[in-house]
C-alpha cells in the first residue's frame, strides 16, 4: 500500500492548525461558533496556502455531529474530527461532500450534473457541500449555469469555489459569495511547520537545507512538504544541503551570497569562474539569476533604508540577513546598473537556448 504523502498526512485538521491565514481563521471560527455559515464561499490565493483544506474544514464544521449535539463544544468553533461525518470527509468517502476539479471538468455538462445533484437532499449529513477547485477554469456557459444555483440554493447546500486566479471569476459569481483572500506563507512559517514534521518523522536535516526548501516553495506549504517528501523517498533520514541543491537545482544561500559579493566588489573573474562551476553542477541558471536579483535588491533596499531590516527578518535566517547587511555597506549607486543588467539578462534567459550567455554578458558589462 502506498505511503501517505507528507502534505496529506500533515494537512491541518482544525482552523487553529491553518498557519499564515489569521484573518480567514478568525472570521470562519466566529461563524462556526455562532452557527452562521454562508451558502457560498470564494477562496482565492496562491497555490498551497490552504484553500482546499479550508473548504474541507467548512464542510466538517457544517456536518460535525458533535457540534450539532453539544452546544459547549460548538462554541469552540472547530470540528471534532472524531465523529463519522468528520472521518468520512477526511478520508474522502462522504457522499455529501462533492469535490470537483474544474481544471479537468470545466464544461457546462459537469455544472448541469452539479445542479441535478443539488436538488437531492443529503444522504446522511446535515449539509451537502460542493467544493469546486480551480474554479477559474470553468467556461462562460458553465458559469452561467452555476449562477442560478448560487442565487437560490437549497437550505441544505453550501458551495465553495477555490481559485488561484480571482480576476477570472465573473463579478456576477463573486458578488454572491463570501470572499476570503489567502496570502503566501512566510519563510518563517514554512520552516516552523517543516520542523514539526521532521521531528515527528524522525528526520535530520541541516538548517541551511531546511531554509532552502522553504525559500524554494515560494510561499506554498504544499510545495515545501512535497519537496521534503521527495528527499525522504530516497530512504535518507539525514538530509544535507548538497542533496537539497541537487534535488531542486537551486543554489544554496551561502554560494549565492559569495557570488553576489564578487559582483558587488567588481571581481568579474571570480564571478565567471563560480558561474562555470554552478553551470557544470546542473543548476537552473534562470532560477539562480532570479535569486541573485532578489539578493541584490535586498542589499540595495537595506543600503537606502536600514530600517527595512525588521521587514526582512521574517524572510531570512539571522546569519543570512547579516551577510546581506555587510554587502549593503559596500553598495554604491553604480551598482544599480548591475541590478538592471541582471534583470535584463533574466528576461533573455527565460527564452534562450543558451541561458548562461546573457548572465555572462551582464557580468562582463558590470566589470566595465
> Is residue 333 predicted with pLDDT exceeding 80?
yes
- What residues make up the domain containing 203? 187-248
Residues shown for the chain? 368
Least confident of 39-53, 186-200, 229-243: 229-243
74 and 193 housed in the same domain: no
Name the band, by pLDDT with cuts 50, 70 and 90, for residue 266.
very high
Q: DSSP letters along 54-99, please?
A: HHHHHHHHHH-HHHHH-HHHHTT-S--S-SHHHHHHHTT--TTEEE
291 and 276 housed in the same domain: yes
CATH assignment of the domain containing 316? 1.20.272.10
174 and 192 housed in the same domain: no
Query: What mean pLDDT do residues 313-324 have?
Result: 88
CB contact at 8 A, 31 and 37:
yes
Asked whether residue 154 is domain-assigned, the answer is yes
Name the band, by pLDDT with cuts 50, 70 and 90, for residue 2.
low
36 and 170 housed in the same domain: yes
CA dist 355 to 27, 272, 360, Å?
47, 14, 9
> Is residue 201 predicted with pLDDT exceeding 50?
yes
Question: Could you identify the residue written with the cell 504523502?
Answer: 5
**Could you tell me how far CA 298 lies from the centroid of its own chain?**
22
Least confident of 77-81, 124-128, 295-299: 124-128
> Is residue 235 predicted with pLDDT exceeding 70?
no
The pLDDT score that the predictor gives to residue 49 is 93
Q: Which of 137, 152, 181 is the last residue of a domain?
A: 181
18 and 63 housed in the same domain: yes
Asked whether residue 1 is domain-assigned, the answer is no
208 and 114 housed in the same domain: no
170 and 215 housed in the same domain: no
Q: DSSP letters along 174-211, please?
A: HTTSEEEEPPPPPHHHHHHHHHHHHHHTT-EE-HHHHH
Angle between helix 241-248 and helix 207-216 axes, rounded to 10 deg: 20
Please enumerate in sequence order all residues whose Cβ is within 8 A of that of 35, keeping only pairs 6 or more positions apart, or say none.
74
User: Alpha-carbon dihedral of residues 132, 133, 134, 136, nearest 10 degrees?
Assistant: 20
> Is residue 17 predicted with pLDDT exceeding 80?
yes
319 and 261 housed in the same domain: yes
Name the band, by pLDDT with cuts 50, 70 and 90, for residue 357.
very high
Number of domains in the chain: 3
120 and 49 housed in the same domain: yes
Cell of 54: 479550508
Asked whether residue 262 is domain-assigned, the answer is yes
The pLDDT score that the predictor gives to residue 26 is 95
Asked whether residue 67 is domain-assigned, the answer is yes
How high is the mean pLDDT of the chain? 90
CATH assignment of the domain containing 223? 1.10.8.60
CB contact at 8 A, 125 and 85:
yes
Q: CA-to-CA distance for 31 and 266, rounded, in angstroms?
A: 58
> Is residue 85 predicted with pLDDT exceeding 60?
yes
Cell of 12: 491541518
Asked whether residue 309 is domain-assigned, the answer is yes
> Is residue 132 predicted with pLDDT exceeding 70?
yes
81 and 225 housed in the same domain: no
Asked whether residue 42 is domain-assigned, the answer is yes
The pLDDT score that the predictor gives to residue 124 is 85
The pLDDT score that the predictor gives to residue 1 is 42
* Percent of the chain at pLDDT exceeding 70: 98
For 273-309, the pLDDT digits (tens) are 999 999 998 889 999 999 999 999 999 999 999 999 9
Cell of 261: 559579493
Asked whether residue 73 is domain-assigned, the answer is yes
Q: Decide: residue 5, CB within 10 A, 0-12 exposed, 13-18 middle, 19+ buried.
A: middle
* Percent of the chain at pLDDT exceeding 90: 62
The pLDDT score that the predictor gives to residue 3 is 66
Q: Which of 233, 248, 263 is the last residue of a domain?
A: 248
Q: CA-to-CA distance for 240 and 224, rounded, in angstroms?
A: 16
208 and 61 housed in the same domain: no
Asked whether residue 198 is domain-assigned, the answer is yes
129 and 226 housed in the same domain: no
- CA-wise closest residue to 33 among 86, 73, 84, 82: 73
Q: Which of 199, 218, 248 is the last residue of a domain?
A: 248
Question: Could you identify the residue written with the cell 507528507?
Answer: 6
CATH assignment of the domain containing 120? 3.40.50.300
Amino acid at each position: 500500500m502506498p505511503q501517505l504523502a507528507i502534505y496529506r498526512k500533515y494537512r491541518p485538521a482544525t482552523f487553529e492548525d491553518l498557519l499564515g491565514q489569521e484573518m480567514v481563521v478568525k472570521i470562519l471560527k466566529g461563524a462556526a461558533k455562532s452557527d452562521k455559515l454562508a451558502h457560498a464561499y470564494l477562496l482565492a490565493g496562491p497555490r498551497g496556502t490552504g484553500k482546499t483544506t479550508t473548504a474541507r474544514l467548512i464542510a466538517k464544521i457544517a456536518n460535525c455531529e458533535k457540534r450539532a449535539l453539544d452546544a459547549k463544544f460548538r462554541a469552540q468553533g472547530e470540528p471534532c474530527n472524531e465523529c463519522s461525518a468528520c472521518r468520512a470527509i477526511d478520508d474522502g468517502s462522504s457522499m455529501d461532500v462533492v469535490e470537483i476539479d474544474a481544471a479537468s471538468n470545466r464544461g457546462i455538462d459537469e455544472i448541469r450534473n452539479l445542479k441535478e445533484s443539488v436538488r437531492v437532499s443529503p444522504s446522511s449529513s446535515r449539509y451537502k457541500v460542493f467544493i469546486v477547485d480551480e474554479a477559474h477554469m470553468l467556461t462562460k456557459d458553465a458559469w452561467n449555469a452555476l449562477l442560478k444555483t448560487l442565487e437560490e440554493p437549497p437550505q441544505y447546500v453550501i458551495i465553495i469555489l477555490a481559485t488561484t486566479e480571482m480576476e477570472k471569476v465573473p463579478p456576477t459569481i463573486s458578488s454572491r459569495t463570501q470572499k476570503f483572500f489567502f496570502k503566501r506563507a512566510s519563510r518563517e512559517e514554512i520552516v516552523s511547520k517543516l520542523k514539526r514534521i521532521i521531528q515527528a518523522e524522525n528526520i535530520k536535516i541541516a538548517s541551511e537545507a531546511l531554509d532552502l526548501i522553504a525559500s524554494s516553495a515560494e510561499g506554498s506549504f504544499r510545495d515545501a512538504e512535497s519537496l521534503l517528501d521527495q528527499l525522504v523517498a530516497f530512504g535518507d533520514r539525514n538530509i544535507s544541503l548538497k542533496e537539497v541543491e541537487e534535488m531542486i537545482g537551486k543554489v544554496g544561500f551561502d554560494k549565492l551570497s559569495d557570488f553576489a559579493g564578487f559582483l558587488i566588489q567588481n571581481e568579474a573573474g571570480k564571478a565567471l569562474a563560480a558561474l562555470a562551476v554552478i553551470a557544470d553542477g546542473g543548476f537552473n541558471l534562470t532560477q539562480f539569476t532570479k535569486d541573485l536579483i532578489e539578493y541584490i535588491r535586498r542589499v540595495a533596499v537595506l543600503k537606502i533604508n536600514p530600517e527595512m531590516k525588521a521587514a526582512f527578518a521574517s524572510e531570512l535566517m539571522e546569519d543570512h540577513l547579516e551577510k546581506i547587511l555587510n554587502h549593503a555597506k559596500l553598495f554604491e549607486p553604480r551598482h544599480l546598473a548591475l541590478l538592471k543588467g541582471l534583470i535584463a539578462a533574466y528576461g533573455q534567459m527565460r527564452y534562450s537556448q543558451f541561458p548562461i550567455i546573457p548572465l555572462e554578458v551582464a557580468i562582463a558589462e558590470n566589470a566595465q
